[in-house]
Structure 1
């Protein structure tokens, strides 16, 4: 017998899931969430430093999460399908493309991510106004699949 589909954002099973936030609320999050909902985005990259700073465990294969939009509303459920920790220099083109942001070269993907990682907002979130990344910075490469569109 298969599990019943999620009934929508008010389904109690959605409320029980961990929350997944992509970027900070605003235009970037809106674009990333739209890419998830369209199926274009099936991977994401996080900084190991963020996980350590927040004291949260790394994603685990099989974990489901409620993706929220800029207003904090659950709009999707995703499931982690793969997790790797690699130095930033080892991010490959397939991962960059699967982030669904239109990147066709790793150098462009990296430049876009460095703008975000070096932003005042992320530096403030890390409590480190001089935070920077380099080739050896450990990043979390996460792959996921869309389980439910809750809109």
Structure 2
């Protein structure tokens, strides 16, 4: 792909700052093959859900550091998230309970959900992806 074609791809921006650096490193190492987000955040921002296909993986300064392919996007209830999804996040979670605590803390800290509002029925967007290339023109 040419640089112009790459620039037209949707961006995947995993968090921000140091957390983004950590998550991008996990994608580049192959440890991270999924990401999760709150469905209500898409609704609040009137944004469509991600679609399968190529995306630009963004680094800390919003530079393109690789190409990924979204292979599947699904909605799951928070109570249906399992160890497999928690492990696919590539952040070293020992269990889905640890994943849930960490994610709820994050969503609360960035204002995506008020404390005490997330339940087992809250909808989570699960994106599965694979790293396609880091060899960019």
TM over 0.5: same fold? yes
In the alignment, is residue 84 of structure 1 matched against residue 74 of structure 2?
yes
What corresponds to 1:3 in structure 2? none
What is the alpha-carbon distance in structure 2 between the residues aligned to residue 81 and residue 96 of structure 1? 17
Equivalent residue in structure 2 for 1:111, among 84, 101, 114: 101
What corresponds to 1:17 in structure 2? 9
What is the alpha-carbon distance in structure 2 between the residues aligned to residue 59 and residue 133 of structure 1? 22
What is the alpha-carbon distance in structure 1 between the residues aligned to residue 21 and residue 61 of structure 2? 10
Report the number of matched residues.
135
In the alignment, is residue 50 of structure 1 matched against residue 35 of structure 2?
no
User: Gaps (5+ residues) in structure 1?
Assistant: 1-5
Shift of 1:14: 1.3
Equivalent residue in structure 1 for 2:123, among 111, 130, 138: 138
What corresponds to 1:72 in structure 2? 62
What is the alpha-carbon distance in structure 1 between the residues aligned to residue 86 and residue 108 of structure 2? 18
The Cα offsets for residues 50-89 of structure 1, whole Å up to 9 and x where unpaired, read as 111222211222x211111111111111111112101101
Q: TM-score, with normalisation over the residues of structure 1? A: 0.83
Helix, strand or coil at the partner of 1:17: coil
What is the alpha-carbon distance in structure 1 between the residues aligned to residue 90 and residue 108 of structure 2? 21
CA RMSD of aligned residues (A): 1.6
Could you list the structure 1 runs, at least 4 aligned residues long, displaced by more than 4 angstroms after superposition: none
Shift of 1:29: 0.7
Shift of 1:150: 4.6
Helix, strand or coil at the partner of 1:118: helix
Shift of 1:137: 0.7
Helix, strand or coil at the partner of 2:119: coil
Helix, strand or coil at the partner of 1:86: strand
Q: TM-score, with normalisation over the residues of structure 2? A: 0.90
